[in-house]
Structure 1
Amino acid sequence: MAEYRICVVGAGAVGEQMVRLLRRRGFPAREIVLFARSDRTQEIDGESYEVRTASAEAFEGFDLAFFAGTEGAKGASQTYGWEAVKRGCTVIDNGDDFRMDDRVPLVIPEINPDALDRHQGLIANPNCSTSIALMALGPLHRAYGLRRVVVSTYQAVSGSGAGAVRELEAQVRSWVAGEEMACEAYPHRIAFNVLPKIGSLKNGTPSEELKMSRETHKILGDDSIRISCTCVRVPVFTGHSEAISVECAQEVDPAAARELLEQAPGVRVVDDPGNEVYPMPVDSENREDVLVGRIRTDSALDKGLALFVAGDNLWKGAALNAVQIGEALIGRGMM
């Protein structure tokens, strides 16, 4: 098997997870180099990696570049994405700069791998909440046809970056000590609280909710699906959870839906609520599969089904999906 020169742009939480998963999954990498704002050496899982200062010229000679940008972190892919492509490097971008660009496929390998055939050198990773939801919604749409989707998300603070993780921990310590809680990452305290707005407002709708709708339409190739979404930040370190109700074009039996999802790649059905078995973010951390459970009829919707999902937002919601896109490119003979 051919081996590839790999670079990861961004040495933060998602970048580290990308390197970790490239190694864990045995990606055929001859070399892995990190790009960031300054030169240094960074240790990941006991192994030292060279960190180089990012520049357009730095991408010369690399086969594949993983851009690890987190949500709302502008700059790296805007500055270097197409520059890397010009230099013969295929780019997989975790940020949101090019997701809705007509030139750029938006890909979940288990759901729409054929979209890779149309790439022009740059491929986008979906938003974390979209990826986790569609691992369940994709198979249901193929089998029953989705007409309406209503989603409420419960999103971990790690989706906002390392600073938000530190802030939650510091606020919990302050609460225990009876001290005032400092708020920097969020406008209000996150400890023992929930924040029902993620992202900036665009025409009165938070950007996180717009992403869920637009990205779902693009990935599933169906703009007719009506989508209502409320995205909520919760005091959980890692692991996004989502309560989802769907209205289908065909009658859907919960037992048949459960069997369908049990066969879906990348999904693990965890559904025995009578014995307190259901998806939880704590169980999704460092797990490649998305957990799906609480599968039941939703009587409020015509031909309705309700379910609950949980997934690691740093893995399937970011780094893992990007690595899987790289694997899919190789598997399709496109590298």
Structure 2
Amino acid sequence: MGYRVVVVGATGNVGREMLTILSEREFPIDEIAAVASSRSQGTEIEFGETGKMLKCKNIEHFDFTGWDIALFAAGSGPTEIYAPKAAAAGCVVIDNSSLYRMDPDVPLIVPEVNPDAIDGYTKKNIIANPNCSTAQMVVALKPLHDVAKIKRVVVATYQSVSGAGKAGMDELFEQSRAIFVGDQVEPRKFTKQIAFNVIPHIDVFLEDGSTKEEWKMVAETKKILDPKVKVHATCVRVPVFVGHSESLNIEFEEELGWEQAQDILREAPGVMLVDKREDEGYVTPVECVGDYATFVSRVRDDPTVDNGLALWCVSDNLRKGAALNAVQIAELLGRRHLKKG
């Protein structure tokens, strides 16, 4: 027996990726529904490579009663309205927005990192999916933290435009084309030109000078990994279509050399170590697209602090950073709580 699954926001980048990954991983499904706003009602979407076409239903009229799991990729606005309705109808919500991440009654889950926390989902019948940049970082940090206890992390991110949705991807394409033919470039989605440029600004600015994206990485890492870990983040948008990259400097309580760290990461769940000290001996965002793994490269000692380590981390933000992690949560939920058959 399988589950009755709803994908909310099915016409967006992440929603479409959720459908693809459900199909790829052969998630046990008896019935699946694609749900979106009234504007997308009737739009047909392919369910992975099954050849099955799903006709989008209007969320305003959708009844979640009798459905087992709802994967939400609709943004905080619609989620605030419809997630509680789905949860109250007995359908477990796995939400990709930021709305519930810091709610103490909602578990924030990365299955490779804190699977036991999912047991708290019954308080609201909602589970939160972390921010894309946080998800890949904690997958890389967790196995190292288990061995040597992390004190502090300084991270600089290089985040692709797909993190800003289709509008972000369209803007990079249109600006690049405009520059090549000599047309004027006008930012719309981003605050400055993104083509052939980098922008040290993602989400809104906060009073302390950080951005909300940077705050998310700090707060979410503490909730998922360990509240004692100190995190400082600088989040940068770069002209890459898909794939987030991160440069991490990690300070541990105990000594952990780069060779031991490589051995640990080589065996860690969700991590793919590609670290040869030679040309092409590392992974870039172009190479991670379509893959499930969080890739780690450039592992080396950081001599500027006691027990310091530096590394490079790359992942497909539409997958591990969003859709894949949500499906993995659904798989974990099924194994632990919603057993069928």
TM-score where L is the length of structure 2: 0.94
Q: 1:62 aligns with which of 37, 56, 67?
A: 67
Q: 1:166 aligns with which of 165, 170, 179?
A: 170
Question: 3-state DSSP class of the match of 1:35?
Answer: strand
| Alignment-derived partner of residue 2 in structure 2 | 3
Share of identical aligned residues, percent?
Answer: 44
Cα offset, 1:50, TM superposition: 2.0
| Alignment-derived partner of residue 141 in structure 2 | 137
Contact 1:56 1:84 in 2 (8 A): no
In structure 2, C-alpha distance between the alignment counterparts of 1:143 and 1:283, rounded to whole Å: 29
In structure 1, C-alpha distance between the alignment counterparts of 2:250 and 2:30, rounded to whole Å: 45
| Alignment-derived partner of residue 255 in structure 1 | 259
Contact 2:137 2:313 in 1 (8 A): yes
- Structure-to-structure mapping, 1:94-173, within 5 angstroms: 94-120=96-122, 121-173=125-177
Question: 3-state DSSP class of the match of 2:103?
Answer: coil
Q: Pick closer, same or farther for the CA change 1:158–1:317 going to 2, 3 Å.
A: same
Q: 1:211 aligns with which of 216, 228, 238?
A: 216
Equivalenced residue count is: 330
Cα offset, 1:56, TM superposition: 6.9
Cα offset, 1:124, TM superposition: 0.3
| 5+ long unaligned stretches in structure 2 | none
Cα offset, 1:275, TM superposition: 3.4
Question: 3-state DSSP class of the match of 1:186?
Answer: coil
In structure 1, C-alpha distance between the alignment counterparts of 2:317 and 2:195, rounded to whole Å: 19
Q: Pick closer, same or farther for the CA change 1:308–1:40 going to 2, 3 Å.
A: same
Question: 3-state DSSP class of the match of 2:63?
Answer: helix
Q: 2:54 aligns with which of 24, 49, 53?
A: 49
Contact 1:107 1:123 in 2 (8 A): yes
Contact 1:92 1:322 in 2 (8 A): yes
Q: Per-residue CA shift, 1:67-86, capped at 9, x if unaligned?
A: 013xxx32121111111111
TM-score where L is the length of structure 1: 0.96
Cα offset, 1:47, TM superposition: 3.1
Cα offset, 1:274, TM superposition: 1.4
| Alignment-derived partner of residue 14 in structure 2 | 14
Question: 3-state DSSP class of the match of 2:60?
Answer: coil
1:84 is aligned to 2:111: no
Contact 1:67 1:76 in 2 (8 A): no
In structure 2, C-alpha distance between the alignment counterparts of 1:264 and 1:50, rounded to whole Å: 39
In structure 1, C-alpha distance between the alignment counterparts of 2:25 and 2:103, rounded to whole Å: 30
Contact 2:45 2:56 in 1 (8 A): no
Of 320-329 and 49-58, more deviation after overlay is shown by 49-58
Code of the residue aligned with 1:116 in structure 2: it is I
Of 43-52 and 279-288, more deviation after overlay is shown by 43-52
Code of the residue aligned with 1:260 in structure 2: it is I
Code of the residue aligned with 1:118 in structure 2: it is G
Contact 2:205 2:211 in 1 (8 A): yes
Question: 3-state DSSP class of the match of 2:33?
Answer: strand
Contact 1:241 1:310 in 2 (8 A): yes
- Structure-to-structure mapping, 1:320-335, within 5 angstroms: 320-335=324-339
- Aligned Cα RMSD in Å? 1.2
In structure 2, C-alpha distance between the alignment counterparts of 1:159 and 1:313, rounded to whole Å: 7
Code of the residue aligned with 1:113 in structure 2: it is P
Question: 3-state DSSP class of the match of 2:76?
Answer: coil
Q: Pick closer, same or farther for the CA change 1:110–1:56 going to 2, 3 Å.
A: farther
Contact 2:43 2:55 in 1 (8 A): yes
Cα offset, 1:300, TM superposition: 1.3
| Alignment-derived partner of residue 35 in structure 1 | 35
Q: Pick closer, same or farther for the CA change 1:316–1:155 going to 2, 3 Å.
A: same
| 5+ long unaligned stretches in structure 1 | none
